[in-house]
Structure 1
Amino acid sequence: MNPASVFFLEDKVHDVKLVFSESRPCFVSMREVSYGHNYWRNGLWKEYSDDRPDKVRTGPLVFEDRLAEPSGSTQDTLTVYNNPYASLNMKQQRARLPIYKNRNHVLYLCEKYRTVIIIGETGCGKSTQVPQYLLEAGWTNDGRMIGVTQPRRVAVVTLASRVAEEKEAILGQDVGYTVRFDDVTDDKTKIKYMTDGILLRELLTDPLLSKYSVIMIDEAHERTCNSDILLGLLRKVLIVRPDLRIIVSSATLDAELFRDFFELNESDDHSRDTACIMSVEGRTHPVAIYHTKTAVPNYIKATVETVLEIHKKEIPGDILVFLTGQEEVIEEEIKRRFAAEEGDHIALLNVYTMFMKNNKSRKWCGDHYLNYRGLCRADNVRAQLVRLLRRFEVPLVSARGEPGEFSEETIENGYFIE
């Protein structure tokens, strides 16, 4: 396709007419029409830097525009993915995160309490924005750093790169990271991302962590050996260093357990409490909840039928199904159902158990052509389910969902973030 000019115009019926250089009209059916001056080149949407609209574009992060050729054309349907956030600067992108409206609340709690437990839904911005809020509030003015720990190396590098980009800084100066065999920091670094193992090593040489004013333990729900040891040592440091602030953040954390662990006030006067809990509401992507109208006698069969129905009727995407055990995944009934004509191009893979046995390795996922992020989401949802079952003291009973079995209602209005 030759380069052609394209004008996005907002109208009431959400239809746009595209006229290409070959004088062939194409019609775009869009769920939400953006506007601005764009042109097509080399298979990508570009935007003129000298002709931007004053009002930024809004809409979902990525939506699909299908360009249908006129009737009778033999050309295939062209699918274009347009990112409406591409025209937003960093400040506008940060302001759209759910945690942005809680900025002052975060700073207030860090001033008043020595330990803050932040429960924020996945994607709310806690891992990237909270350290920046503290930096902007002056928590590094005395020459100390803000330390943020992550359980995995890839998260450390990714988050540090993103924060450096948002701060318009060179990675390794104001914002840096340290992982095993790789230290990208200098003497002027103010925000430092690292693995929990690196911070443990620093505790050996500096038991009071005198270089840090704030320590943020992210993804604390994973409860690795390093993170558990680190949390125990940090509580001891708090007793000696009243100026140190500890932030524990997660999307699936038992907040009350961690608050009680870090609480240093042994009196009945709650005004002297040293730990608190903060919840961040909101999601970066919409989540809809649907329930079956009636109970199903065989939930395995109903699950497979639902998956096939969604696959046939909805737009392309991913489907994540949770069952109670590995045996159910390899049920002959599931194999037969997915071997049907409407599911002959669906691959049923039982990879979650092997993913956990390989320590959630991104390399293992790459070697086996698996979606690393999807498997991490599966683990987050599993952790939330376990936490809900423990909170409501739901008894765990083995059941296969066969006709005649009776199971009491457990969680009526629960939902999962992922």
Structure 2
Amino acid sequence: RDMAGFVADEAAAVRAAQQRARVEAFNRRQRRERGYDDGDGDDDGVRRRTRAASGEHDDETRSGDAASSREREEPPQCRICFAGAEDATRGRLFSPCLCRGSMSHVHVECLNAWRAMSSNASSSARCDACRYVYVLKRARWATRFADPRLATVASVACIALAVVVSGVIARIASARVVAPAFAAAAAALKRTGTGTRTSGVVATLERLGSPRPTHAWRPWYAANGGGFPAGWVEERAAAASTRRALERTSPAHLEFLFYRLAMWTPPWWNPGGAFLDAFTIPRWFLRRAWIADALDALVTGVVLVGVGGAAFDVVGRLRRNFRSELERLAFPLAAMFASHGSPILRVVAIAGLMYVYYITHEIVRSRARTVLTKYGEYISDVRPRGAAEIEAARRGADAAVVADARRRWGARYFEGW
């Protein structure tokens, strides 16, 4: 929206505040007049008592008294769920702000849910209608729980846990279930027949059932102090053989499938790579097989979480608005893959990981606000206070609306209002 729209909204808010102030002043004046009418020395009161004694009826007085009595006798109800005080599951019915009439009461659970789910950050501290700041009492642990850095740390921890768990599960499933199953199927089919079609299927199954690359070169590398005996020629030859082994590995091992599609040889599988030569990185992770296996599992988890998050986002957008998102998202992605090929998976995985972090952060922040408002904060009831104090607070809340609008948009927009 443009500037004019925001100015119009703020002007409407100021007019509403002024109108509310005028209505309240009118109501106070009416109440004072009705109080004076009931006095003994007032002529209207004398005439009214005279008409009542003579049997005449004052319809206006009766209607006003009936309306005020109905207002007093009407049981209070929640302004959010419209239930009364008898609904014990929603907590007590109280007045957290200066709103009146049907807006004066709300359940504790309803208000906490509203504060936790509202997109406006100020809604958790003050009323959106009368702008009254809630009287909050917070526990000691809730002060640290309200720290916004908590959502960031918890989101990173959740994503790290998801990466580790998914990587370990995928590694165990591919190495001990999927690849051995393909290898067993290839061996069984090879024993049954040797036709042309059968040989092609057997070759495919053997390819899918091939094991992970061997770590046999790592002890030699470690025994020679991080190098090969004959120098860089053997080192480059070992690197070439390692890359060929990576290419021949079964696609059931997701990390090596990603290496192949992304056209990337990780440093822990490339003893003579240019990456290690360009940067003086210690090569201790090349000497132990378990380090390479752990890093492969982490890569698998990152790919699963990142690509899965990107796919979830794309499918969700297409389901909400297929035609628009097809033009805005699907076609550009297809063009990226067509122009750059499979290495674009690196960008997709990183973008998907960022999307997963954003969603996780929003969920954690929402849950933290829910727990904080439900168990860590207590809002006091403002009704037991004196009438003069409540009226002063109401005038202060109305003045705060006008002052906030003037501060945000300048006094020149509100001249003459």
Superposition TM-score tier, normalisation by shorter sequence: under 0.3
Question: Could you state the TM-score of these two structures normalised by the residue count of structure 1?
Answer: 0.21
Which structure exhibits the higher relative contact order, with contacts defined as CA atoms closer than 8 Å and separated by 6 or more residues? 2
Question: Could you say which structure has the higher helix fraction?
Answer: 2
State the TM-score, normalizing by the size of structure 2: 0.22
Bigger share in strand: 1
